[in-house]
Amino acid sequence: MEPFQRYRDVVDDFEAFIDACERSLSMAVRVNTLKATPEQVERAFDEAGIGYERADWHPHVVRVETDTPGVTWPSIHGWVHGQEEVSAIPASVLAPEPGDRVLDACAAPGSKATQLAAEMQDEGTLVANDNNLGRLSALRFNCERLGVTNVAVTNRDARNFSLKPFAAEDEHEGPQFDRVLVDAPCSCEGTIRKNPDALDGWSEDHVAGIAGVQKGILRRAIQVTRDGGHVVYSTCTFAPEENEAVLDHVLQKEDCRLVDYDLALEHDDGLTGWRDTEFDPQVAKAKRVYPHQNDTGGFFTAKLEVSA
């Protein structure tokens, strides 16, 4: 936990934070509303003798008393998808509607992409992109298992994602997206409760390097979103270099603004400064979820609106 010592002056009740990070994380699933209702899933868990508790902040997130939710009957048949509880935040914040044109810029293995499809009621167009070819098989498998049909899977570097493949013959660039999710690759500090080796090889150089990638992905996401459209940026790390500093950079480079949103989980606001750097005050509208606040993993989420 040595890398976390740099957050001692940032996190309230730091000792509780460290204690939570050292405890294993309980399992959770998301009800796939394309195939089942929460009530149907609960009846199936009752029949299987699996204990459960519905999360009070999200109607489709269920905490389950099993270490192997992926081998349960509801999971095999696509009624539920094993998903860390806080992982359900970004798609809920993006809140796509049926008929929208949506891009998940870093989609594999598909937890958030399939959640977006459920939010869209499988209507409209969902482009699920990932630059890692090896992970696309898991993305496709999850889309098929969960009954997603409105998805197009692409293999591109999100930093230079092109709209041309989606353009009609008379269009130069192609149609822009209504909403984009950037659940960016990150240093994964917030996953320490399920991945005890998450800090192996951690260094500030690695954090700085991946922050450069995140800035490129988020800038391109804003560029391919229509005026008035929304982009959600999220990571599962605590590092300000990968969170608020990325937002601060993009606010300076692109025509966009941060907007507030409701989150029915205990959280902290985004940091307005880190070490000797002050950030744009707008970054306070981002939200940080720490493990000790809700007995979950750690997460960071921000919502941006694109403007001309």
pLDDT in tens, 33-85: 999 999 999 999 999 999 999 999 999 999 999 999 999 999 999 999 999 99
- The pLDDT tens digits of the residues spanning 267-277 come to 999 999 999 99
Please write the tens of the pLDDT for every residue from 78-114.
999 999 999 999 999 999 999 999 999 999 999 999 9
Is residue 61 within 8 Å of residue 88, measured between CB atoms? yes
**Distance of alpha carbon 86 from alpha carbon 289, whole angstroms:** 8
Q: Tell me the two tokens of residue 200.
A: 């192996």
Which residues are identified as catalytic? 236
Buried b (16+ CB within 10 A) or exposed e, 3-39: bbeebeebbeebeebbebbeeebbbbbbbbbbbbebe
* 48-79 b/e (C-beta count within 10 Å ≥ 16 → b): eebebeebebbebbbbbebeebeebebbeebb
Q: What is the pLDDT of residues 191-245, one digit of tens each?
A: 999 999 999 989 999 999 999 999 999 999 999 999 999 999 999 999 999 999 9
Q: Taking the model in full, what pTM does it have?
A: 0.96
